Structure 1
Amino acid sequence: MTAPKLLIMGPPGAGKGTQSSNIAEEYGVEHVTTGDALRSNKQMDLSDMDTEYDTPAAYMDAGDLVPDQVVNAIVEKALTEADGFVLDGYPRNPAQAKELEDMTDLDIVLAVSVGRDELLTRLTGRRVCDDCGTNYHAEYDQPEEDGVCDGCGGELIQREDDTREAAENRLDVYEENTEPVIERYRGHDGFVEIDGEQAPDAVWSDIEQAIDDHTA
């Protein structure tokens, strides 16, 4: 079987990262994320582009958003170098979706669907150890002692981007910018919507079935 080219989409808190890692391991493809691709290419020479800075690193150091044209170039480089991939976190808007269509032909587009109330529960319940970085959840993955990391005894904290206000904002941005991209892909021959409110094992089973159905 030729290594598949997959796109996985879904809102923050849908579990895309976990399932993308599963796909990469099971099917021997590269897990391509925008963040990892940027970090791997942070010294890319941008002198031939009409950009404010000469490297992606300069944008990161300044705390500025990396422009779409730079992100597009970095993602294209990562996909070109990969022998099959699962793309996670890109495209985030219709303009990026158009760029992706020009870069490559996708075999499968997975859209992980989770309701807003469940997403807010997942996002606002996340806790992280302030010392070792281990993740917990106030409802789904509690430590043995409330507020204390099982591994190192560090304090569990809520990150700023996991507060209710921040989570609501992240979902609003997703609905405005990225949901139209999913609608764009509904006509794709390999489009499959996955119920992301199931248990992770059930989500994975549905994803495996979708991939096998479209790569047989």
Structure 2
Amino acid sequence: MGIIEKQVNRTGGVKKAKKELTGSKDWIQKIKSDSGEWNHNRMNILEIATSYYRKIYQHNTVQDKDDLTGTSNIPNTLYTEVIKAIDSLKSDKAPGPDGITNEILKESKRVITPVLTDMFNEILNTETIPQRWTETNIILLYKKGDKYEIGNYRPISLMSNIYKLFTKIILNRIEKRLDEHQPIEQAGFRKDYSVLDHIHVVR
């Protein structure tokens, strides 16, 4: 990760990320608790928001661990796969806690792609993702109604763009495999296909 961190520092990625996250967004100045009490302290506001969304999203369902027999046959990540995934990244997307933007990945792809390829292969082989990938920055977007009611805000999780790059590679593999097993008659909802082609054939 040292090479990636050097690129972040060289391009000013952390400073840019911080500016994107805080420069144009105002902190919630005050919020009402469940009891109707006003809270102006930032830490109290964070605690109220955390408690509110924890109640909404927590669940007690315990899922059995899937039987992942055969995962050792997963092919290693290729350099070309990483390059393709980086090229498909959209710009002007807020970064996660690591501060690495898609622009950084694109600008330095020739330098960091070998490092990312090795890291992704290690993840596939060990079936373990970095702990930092489980961390997110959460921002609250105002929807409508009373601005001082926490329920009128929508939480957005900002995850590591490297994590999303890895999942993009997995998604590309899945889509390719599924597409290869589609019947030739299936033209709808497929890349580079159109139902109009079949209509012209019928005519």
- Bigger fraction of residues in strand: 1
Please report the TM-score for the alignment, with normalisation by the length of structure 2: 0.24
Please report the TM-score for the alignment, with normalisation by the length of structure 1: 0.23
| Greater C-alpha radius of gyration | 2
